[in-house]
A and B are shown apart, each in its own frame.
Chain A
Amino acid sequence: MPLIFTLAFRNLFHDRLRFIATVIGIVFSIVLVTVLRAIGSSRRYIYKVIICQALVIAVIGFSFAALIGAAILKLTAAIALPIVITSGLIAGLFLLTVAMCVASAIAAIVQVTRINPAKVFTR
């Protein structure tokens, strides 16, 4: 697995609290960003870490939703007005989920550009 993905994925699940916060919106550690900047990483590299996190969240979130959706479908299969979910709808919902997560990642990226890497010495 590429190291950048390992960093993004494991940082996401570093602790349960962070994961809960991440489900609400992309969060990132200021220390992570300042250390990466201090060791010379480009902004682009940090953006990639954040986008990786967004994609992981999208896949996990969509998987949970798909499981719940499948359960509802099964429960409502026998009623008079069954719910119909087409493969096109599933693909559309997945793309929408990814788009929403990437959009929230962009908000995180805007924050990242404002971080002063010199903070690495004060944290």
Chain B
Amino acid sequence: MNEPVIEALNVAKVLGSGAAQVAALKGVSLALNGGELTLLMGPSGSGKTTLLSILGCILTPTQGTVRVRGHSTDGAGPEDLALIRREQVGFVFQTFHLFPTLTAADNVQLALDVRGEPSRSARVRSREALAKVGLSHKASAFPRELSGGEQQRVAIARAIVGNPSIILADEPTAALDGKNGQAIMKILARIAKEQGRAVLIVTHDPRLLPFADRVVHIEDGRIVGEEGGGAKLQ
């Protein structure tokens, strides 16, 4: 069996301090494999986004270990974690988080610019990434000129342009109607299958189940169940 692309081992996370302290995660272990689309489902406050943040090296665990491609992130400082994010992780957010003053192509190119990639090759790669999500013709459009579904596709292009091994998506369809949500899920499933990336999607939406290879349920900071998704059954 292949080594997981990323894994959390017995991860706990305490948020806040004093009387406001909350144990957001209580000993969670989860491994994500390349080529698999995993849904992380659970009620509000169950620790989904905290786990996503820890897997994405945005937060560090209070206890436990995260391994990215076999390398532990224990003891990594903020800049080391930023480097891991640059090289290994692509994020897709619920509200897209595109820069309104940049065109679609520039928004995608930004992910390469922060890596110091020369602008000529970055421009070519950003156009290629937009083509992969079917938006070549919108490269010069600003986010305000795009529909919600198109903005999310730009955000996906930004997430994949750096060729990361992991895509982490926080409620990527929550701000979209059903049709656009399905289109986004098809793209994310294709990214997992054709490009061999590990894709983890945090969601409440049961309509996404047919696209998943695995479904992981989390409640009260603990993983309470796991099952095969609709994609495995098809």
- Whether A and B are associated in the same complex: the answer reads yes
Interface of A with B (CB < 8 Å)? 2-4, 6-7, 10-11, 13-14, 31-32, 35-43, 45, 117-118, 120-121, 123
Which residue of the partner chain, among B83, B86, B91, B97, contacts A31 with CB atoms under 8 Å? B97
- Chain B nearest CB: distance from A14 CB in Å? 5
Dominant SS among interface residues on chain A = helix
Q: Establish whether residues B102 and A6, one from each chain, have CB atoms under 8 Å apart when the complex forms.
A: yes
- Chain A nearest CB: distance from B47 CB in Å? 12
Measured CA separation A4–B106 after assembly (Å): 10
> Are A7 and B114 CB-contacts (below 8 A) given A32-B99, A42-B79?
no
Q: CB-CB < 8 A to A45: which residues of B?
A: 114
Measured CA separation A67–B80 after assembly (Å): 47
Instruction: Name the residue of chain B whose CB is nearest to the CB of A37.
Output: B82
The 4 closest A-B pairs by CB, nearest first: A40-B86, A10-B101, A41-B114, A40-B85
Interface of B with A (CB < 8 Å)? 49, 52-53, 56, 58-59, 78-79, 82-87, 89-91, 93-95, 97, 99-102, 106, 109-111, 113-115, 119, 122, 158, 162, 170
Apart from A14-B101, A43-B78, A120-B97: 18 A-B pairs, beta carbons within 8 A:
A3-B110, A3-B122, A6-B102, A7-B106, A10-B101, A11-B99, A31-B97, A37-B82, A39-B86, A39-B110, A39-B114, A40-B82, A42-B82, A42-B114, A43-B82, A120-B93, A121-B49, A121-B53
Can you sample 7 A-B contacts with CB below 8 Å? A2-B119, A3-B106, A11-B101, A13-B101, A41-B86, A42-B79, A118-B58
Q: Establish whether residues A3 and B119, one from each chain, have CB atoms under 8 Å apart when the complex forms.
A: yes
Q: CB-CB < 8 A to A118: which residues of B?
A: 53, 58-59
Q: Establish whether residues B49 and A7, one from each chain, have CB atoms under 8 Å apart when the complex forms.
A: no
- Chain B nearest CB: distance from A16 CB in Å? 14
Q: Establish whether residues B101 and A41, one from each chain, have CB atoms under 8 Å apart when the complex forms.
A: no
Measured CA separation A121–B49 after assembly (Å): 8
Q: CB-CB < 8 A to B110: which residues of A?
A: 3, 7, 36, 39
Q: CB-CB < 8 A to A41: which residues of B?
A: 82, 86, 114
Q: CB-CB < 8 A to B102: which residues of A?
A: 3, 6-7, 10
> Are A38 and B58 CB-contacts (below 8 A) given A3-B106, A31-B97, A121-B52?
yes
Measured CA separation A6–B113 after assembly (Å): 12
Q: Establish whether residues B52 and A40, one from each chain, have CB atoms under 8 Å apart when the complex forms.
A: no
- Chain A nearest CB: distance from B73 CB in Å? 14
Measured CA separation A7–B111 after assembly (Å): 12
Measured CA separation A32–B82 after assembly (Å): 15
> Are A40 and B87 CB-contacts (below 8 A) given A7-B99, A7-B110?
yes
